[in-house]
A and B are shown apart, each in its own frame.
Chain A
Amino acid sequence: MVNNPANQEPNVIRLKGDIDLEHSPGVRKSLLSAVQREGTLFVDLSDVTYIDSSGIACLVEALQVARADGSDLGLVSVSMQAMRVLELARLDMVFPIHDDLDAALSAKT
């Protein structure tokens, strides 16, 4: 569910598949650990096929930890399925959302 290719930016985490009650504990651990290690983090949601409230809660918690530390957490290439749930929760106005990684990295600099 969490995929970080070796050639990818260190502060990018790619989530894939179903981010549900079964998998969100592992996702939460990875996100919090990455935020504490990297500071500002980008989470690529292009391969997320399903996300529920437990998955959204992981993202919200990581965002809050990042912001408490003066960093931020942005969402990148959000899949239609994930965007639908973010909009339903009206969290699309809370997270910085970027069309792709280039846009995210240029917004950071």
Chain B
Amino acid sequence: MSDAPAMGTCDEGLEMLFEARFPARADRLKLVRGSMWAAARMCGFSDSMAQNIVLAVDEACQNIIVHGYKGREKGEILLSVLRTSEALHVRLRDFAPIVDPKSIRPRALDDVKPGKLGSYFIREIMDSADYQPSPDGTGNLLEMIKRMEGAPW
């Protein structure tokens, strides 16, 4: 018997829904949104919450494209979408320069200016969004968690 996890599971007790590796380009985000919406619906989130989760993941990808890779065309993003019985886990791995999480500040809501809304949307929609150590110490790994509706936390 192999000790390897069965297909569709991983060693942290999380079930893998899908993984996608894609170029860090604005014109690829529509593909991500479609897959992310389907995954959120599969987890039982309502249509409007699934759309909010899509927005949060889209904004996190945009942060990587605009601020991480700074628009350079050769960047890549690895998206992993997993779940437990209680929560959806979305991991975004990039290979851009390491981000100082303290440098990311959502705008104050009474500060009506263009920009900086993306980080606010992520914090508002997801239950948590935290940078984790990347597997090899390069780039960044952002993990966002959204508790299933009705699940205890």
B-contacting residues of A (Cβ < 8 Å)? 18, 20-22, 50, 52-54, 56-58, 60-61, 64, 81, 84-85, 88-91, 94
Supposing A21-B65, A52-B59, A54-B62 touch, asked if A89 and B114 sit within 8 A by C-beta, the answer is: no
Min CB gap B121→A, angstroms: 6
CB contact between A94 and one of B26, B51, B58, B112 (< 8 Å): that residue:
B112
Min CB gap A88→B, angstroms: 6
* Contact residues, B123-153 vs A (CB, 8 A): 124-125
Supposing A60-B114, A84-B51 touch, asked if A89 and B120 sit within 8 A by C-beta, the answer is: yes
Report if B7 contacts A (CB, 8 A): no
Contact A53 B121 (CB under 8 A): yes
Interchain CA distance A18-B33 in the complex, whole Å: 11
Report if B118 contacts A (CB, 8 A): yes
User: Contact size class for B?
Assistant: 20 to 34
Please report whether the interface of chain B is mostly helix, strand, loop or mixed according to DSSP: helix
Contact B114 A90 (CB under 8 A): no
Please report whether the interface of chain A is mostly helix, strand, loop or mixed according to DSSP: helix
A-contacting residues of B (Cβ < 8 Å)? 26-27, 29-30, 33, 48, 51-52, 55, 58-59, 62, 65-66, 109, 112-115, 117-118, 120-121, 124-125
CB contact between B118 and one of A52, A84, A90 (< 8 Å): that residue:
A52
Q: A84-B51, A88-B121 are in contact. List 20 more A-B contacts (CB 8 A).
A: A18-B30, A20-B26, A20-B58, A21-B26, A21-B29, A22-B27, A22-B29, A50-B33, A52-B55, A53-B62, A53-B115, A53-B117, A53-B118, A58-B114, A60-B113, A81-B51, A84-B48, A88-B52, A90-B109, A94-B112
Min CB gap B37→A, angstroms: 10
